[in-house]
Amino acid sequence: MSEITKVTIIGASGHLGQYIVKALLSYPKLATQILTHTDSNSTFPANVPIIRADFSSIDSLKSALRGQDAIISAVGIRGVSDQINVIDAAVAVGVRRFIPSEFGNHPASDDKRLPEMRATQTEKIKVMNHLKKKAEENEGFSWTAIAVGNFFDWSIKRFPAFGFNLASKEARIYDSGSEPITGVLIDSIGQAVVGTFLNPRATANKFLRIRSLQTTQNEILATLEKITECKWTVERVSTEELYQAGKEKKEKGGGWILDILCTQIFADGGGRSVVATREDSDNGLVGVEEVELEDVIRGIVAEG
The answer to whether 33 touches 126, Cβ cutoff 8 Å, is: no
In this complex, which beta carbon is closest to ligand NAP, that of residue 120 or of residue 218?
A: 120
3-state secondary structure of 55: coil
Q: Minimum distance between the CB of residue 196 and ligand NAP, rounded to whole angstroms?
A: 16
Q: Which is nearer to ligand NAP, 50 or 202 (CB)?
A: 50
Q: What is the DSSP string of 10-46?
A: ESTTSTTHHHHHHHHHT-TTSEEEEEEETT------T
b/e code 50-69 from CB counts within 10 Å (16+ = b): ebebebeebebbbebbeebb
Smallest gap from Cβ 231 to ligand NAP, in A, equals: 28
Please check whether residue 267 is in contact with residue 179, taking contact to mean a CB–CB distance below 8 angstroms. Answer: yes
Minimum CB separation of residue 180 from ligand NAP in Å reads 16
8, 32, 33, 36: which one contacts ligand NAP (CB under 6 A)? 36
Q: d(Cα 100, Cα 91) in Å, to the nearest integer?
A: 14
Which of 72, 117, 148, 261: binder of ligand NAP (CB under 6 A)? Answer: 148
Residue 147 in contact with ligand NAP, rule: CB under 6 A: no
* Closer to ligand NAP by Cβ: residue 133 or 158: 158
Tell which residue, 195, 182, 141, has the closest CA to residue 266. Answer: 182
List 62, 68, 79, 282, residue binding ligand NAP (CB under 6 A): 79
Stretch that binds ligand NAP, among 68-76, 112-120, 227-235, 278-286 (CB under 6 A): 68-76
Does residue number 75 form part of the binding site for ligand NAP (CB under 6 A)? Answer: yes
Residue 49 lies near ligand NAP (rule: CB under 6 A): no
DSSP reduced 3-state for 230:
coil
| One-letter amino acid of 136 | E
Q: Which is nearer to ligand NAP, 131 or 233 (CB)?
A: 131
| Binding status of residue 19 toward ligand NAP by CB under 6 A | no
Beta strands in 39-165 (DSSP E): 50-53, 70-73, 97-99, 142-147, 150-151, 164-165
Q: How far is the CB of 116 from ligand NAP (least distance, A)?
A: 16
- Where do contacts with ligand NAP occur on this chain (CB under 6 A)? 11-17, 36-37, 40, 42, 74-79, 82, 101, 103-104, 148, 150-151, 155
